[in-house]
Amino acid sequence: KAGVTQTPRYLIKTRGQQVTLSCSPISGHRSVSWYQQTPGQGLQFLFEYFSETQRNKGNFPGRFSGRQFSNSRSEMNVSTLELGDSALYLCASSLTPRGPETQYFGPGTRLLVL
Amino acid sequence: AQKVTQAQTEISVVEKEDVTLDCVYETRDTTYYLFWYKQPPSGELVFLIRRNSFDEQNEISGRYSWNFQKSTSSFNFTITASQVVDSAVYFCALGSNFGNEKLTFGTGTRLTIIP
């Protein structure tokens, strides 16, 4: 069974631009979560989607948004990029959004904002 | 609020030594879930184990073992006879059925195995 895939793997943008990252969950998994990883803040939860609906959202500004499609694939968008948005963005999928479900992570998209 | 503390920022041991990574958590939930993930240099978080709060049995998987103690809110991870391939950053994480955070991660412990 294929794991979580994320595209692109690497991205370079400039301040003020916007970016869209894509995540395909493990087949059969319907919950997708996004995390941001930076050296200073560590791993932080961005948001979670299930059945095309955002269920939970972390403490991030409105420039960070996402969506989920009917096939459970998810995209996240960051508008008006800032230097501090440079990070590894990790997507994780699980069967359902229930607490005990294990999340399986993709390889991440490494975003560099210049 | 939930919190996970991994006090050891970096650990280096010589190959074949045993090493224990510490994890202390805080939560007000009576039902919660603890996880360990491994992050090699490639960046992907690899799932190692999940433990439910109502199951305090320790677990062993090959060279890996986990010691869960609710009395001290700790979920420590021991690697026996370490190998160079064990070099990675290890994260402890806490999840629950409530709240907005899907998983709360610790800051990670960078483990280096010296050949």
Q: What is the pLDDT of residue B2?
A: 87
CA-to-CA dists, residue B106 to A40, B4, B5, B24, B91, angstroms? 13, 5, 5, 9, 6
Which of chain A's residues have a Cβ under 8 Å away from the Cβ of B96? Answer: 99
- Radius of gyration for the alpha carbons in chain A, expressed in angstroms and rounded: 13
Task: Tell me the pLDDT tens digit for each residue of A1-36.
Answer: 689 999 999 999 999 999 999 999 999 999 999 999
Give the mean pLDDT of A95-105: 82
Identity (one letter) of the amino acid at A80? T
Question: Contact, A87 vs A11, CB < 8 A?
Answer: no
- What's the angle, vertex CA B18, arms to CA B13 and CA B24, rounded to 5? 90
pLDDT at A98: 72
φ/ψ of B92, rounded to 5, equals -100, 140
Between the two ends of chain A, the Cα-to-Cα distance in Å is: 37
3-state secondary structure of B109: strand
In this prediction, residues B57-85 reach a mean pLDDT of: 93
Quick one: tokens of B20?
């224990």
Instruction: Kindly report the nearest CA distance between residue A30 and chain B, in angstroms.
Output: 15
pLDDT tens for A42-90 read: 999 999 999 999 988 999 999 999 999 999 999 999 999 999 999 999 9
Residue A32 has a pLDDT of: 95
Size of interface A-B (CB pairs under 8 A): 62
Give chain A's mean pLDDT. Answer: 94
The first and second tokens of residue B11, run together, are 């650990």
A100 has pLDDT over 90: no
Split at pLDDT 50, 70, 90, the class of B1 is: confident
Average pLDDT value over all residues in chain B: 92
What chain A residue is nearest to B41 in terms of C-alpha separation? A107
Cβ distance of B103 and A45 shorter than 8 Å: yes
Which residues lie across from B32 on neighbouring strands? B96
Longest dimension (CA), chain B: 44
The answer to whether B33 faces chain A, any CB pair under 8 Å, is yes
Cβ neighbours of A100 in B, within 8 Å: 33, 50, 52, 95
Within its chain, how far is the Cα of A77 from the centroid?
9
Q: Which pLDDT value is given to residue A6? A: 97
